Chain A
Amino acid sequence: MQQLLNGVFIGSIYALFAIGFTLVFGILDRLNLTHPAVFAVSAFVGIELVADAGLTVWVALPIVLFLGAVLGLVIERVAFRPLKNRPDAHFAGLISSIALAGMFIALLQWRYGPDTRRFPAGSFPETPIEFGGVAVTVLQVAILFISVVLMIGLTWLVARSRLGRGMRAIAENPTAAKVLGINVDRVTSVTFAISSALGGVAGALFAMNVNSAQLGMGAAIELKGLAVIIVGGMGSLPGALIGGLALGLAEVFAVQYIGSSWRDLIAFGLLFLILLVRPQGLFGARKVREV
């Protein structure tokens, strides 16, 4: 039971992160590989805000959200918009976002040095709450709560709002969207902003969960995020949510029964399996596209 909860906690962070990939892939049919760098940047900035600026964690989070959004706008403008009509747009988009990610991480190294950073002691309440034989910390509950709120908010946005309709229209048929008078560039920018904002919060929450941030954390979560969206279905929001939870739970149980050194392999095992058996993922409806 304890394990179940642990799986849910980490799974919700995975889901929050993976949603960023899904949103961009849904609307642009491209993979934004700068996303993991945003994850890492937000973690470091979050720590700095708490450690150096003396803000509480709960104030730092909205700032990180905002920072993520800004980074998203930058990423769209620099790495994706210039490639819009090129025939090799898919491949080039991968490379340009990898390049931008490299620049972000290098800048992180410049500002924070190569070492691991941590939140100062007492940044968050440590007291565990006990019920039904399991112990959870306030922090973990908070992480879950924030993740769930954000995901619900996003789901509502996509399903009910005018912006969400526009996003879905562009995802299905960009030409039709233009005919309808939708400003495709603007909606795309906003999508990137939302996606990176969520990724940024995921980064900060992750850093809080393990109380550390390293330069390599982006790379570490990148493949997991990719595994989540492949398993859940690229471009599918519920797929990212379910996939994230599934991965979190699978990892926790794998560690329990197989051993921690094999934990990371779980993601790839699932990934490979799905790619071979059902490439469109559990919830994906689209054909596997060619570059």
Chain B
Amino acid sequence: MSRTSPKGSGPVLVVEDLHVAYGRVEAVRGVSFSVDPGSLVTLVGANGAGKSSIINAISGLIRPKSGRVTFDGQDITRTPSHRLVGQGLVQVPEGRQILGTLTIEENLHLGGWHVGGASAGALTETYERFPVLGDRRHLPAGSLSGGEQQMLAIARALVARPKVLLMDEPSMGLAPKVVDEVFRVVDEIRTTGTTIVLVEQNARRALRAADHGYVLQTGEVVHSGPAEELLADPKIIEAYLGVEATR
């Protein structure tokens, strides 16, 4: 269902010294990281740390002030978003951003915009994986619950057969049980070989699912390392709460 790069071909996504500013506010100050094919990398940090800005800069929704983003060896720093989806870089945006007035099936068709819509095969696969979407395929997407909308947002992104999936805070506003489901889906996607860059405020959950993690604070990477190590590191609490960890 997804496209993968041949093994051993080097990182599929490289971010070098990225700076993002909104007017005068520097949201991202010199962030660098790279992502190997098939891995799950997570960017965690408190709200306002710049995580979403990084994702939006990678996917072409906003223009970075400086720095470089390379995708599959090609410089995509200034490429607009509508070209990147076709190349396999797909984003599941913050807050889901599904189109409530369109039906579930139409939303899925929009996921396949670049190939003229979702193919019959893609639709079948989607409904198998997410039966709740299949049951209500002709209902407006706005009738779905928050968790179901998140599933739709993910399904929609998968229709585009992504090489790299950028997920922006998929657990936001969802109840813990639903968050479990979301992460279960994330794990499943990983088994197909899709590379995932996951941005999350819920650091522990994200690190449990990831291979590698980067902790951001006010636009900079303050910690990084294998996810297991970060999970056990009390310094994370400090990055979030700004205090010495007491536990």
Contacts and interface: CB of A to CB of B under 8 A. Distances in A.
A247 B67 CA distance: 58
A111 interface: no
Contact of B97 (A165, A166, A176, A182): A176
Given A165-B109, A175-B61, A175-B93, A181 B101 contact: no
Contacts of B90: 181
A176 B93 contact: yes
Contact of B81 (A162, A166, A168, A181): A181
A165 B82 contact: no
A287 to B, nearest CB: 14
A258 interface: no
A127 interface: no
A169 interface: yes
Given A162-B113, A162-B117, A183-B82, A178 B61 contact: yes
Contacts of B106: 165
Interface string B81-111: 1111110001101000111111000100111
A180 interface: yes
B138 interface: no
A172 B103 CA distance: 13
A199 to B, nearest CB: 25
Contacts of B97: 173, 175-176, 179
Contacts, number: 61
Nearest to B109: A165
B41 interface: no
B102 A165 contact: yes
Interface size grouping (class) on chain A: 10 to 19
Contacts of A165: 102, 106, 109-110, 113
A172 B110 CA distance: 13
A155 to B, nearest CB: 15
* Most A-side CB within 10 Å, residue of B84, B93, B99: B99
Contacts of B59: 179
Contacts of B110: 165-166, 169, 180, 182
Nearest to B101: A172
B6 interface: no
A181 B160 contact: yes
B82 A169 contact: no
B82 A176 contact: no
Contacts of B81: 178-179, 181
B117 A181 contact: no
Interface in A130-185: 162, 165-166, 168-169, 172-173, 175-176, 178-184
A163 to B, nearest CB: 10
A168 B106 CA distance: 10
Contacts of B98: 176
B121 interface: no
Contact of B100 (A162, A172, A180, A181): A172
Nearest to A186: B82
Interface in A8-50: none
B113 A172 contact: no
B85 A180 contact: yes
Contact of A181 (B85, B99, B102): B85
B109 A162 contact: yes
Contacts of A285: 101
Interface in A219-260: none
B114 interface: yes
Nearest to B87: A181
Contacts of B102: 165, 168-169, 172
A181 B109 contact: no
Nearest to A164: B106
A285 to B, nearest CB: 8
A176 to B, nearest CB: 4
B113 A182 contact: yes
Nearest to B100: A172
B8 interface: no
A179 B100 contact: no
B176 interface: no
Nearest to A170: B99
A121 B47 CA distance: 73
Given A168-B99, A181-B160, A162 B93 contact: no
13 contacts: A162-B109, A169-B102, A169-B110, A175-B61, A175-B93, A176-B97, A178-B82, A180-B85, A180-B110, A180-B113, A181-B84, A181-B113, A184-B82
Interface of B: 59, 61, 80-86, 90-91, 93, 97-102, 106, 109-111, 113-114, 116-117, 156, 160
Given A165-B109, A181-B81, 18 more contacts: A162-B109, A162-B113, A172-B102, A173-B97, A175-B61, A178-B61, A179-B59, A179-B61, A179-B93, A180-B110, A180-B111, A180-B113, A180-B156, A181-B86, A181-B113, A182-B82, A182-B113, A183-B82
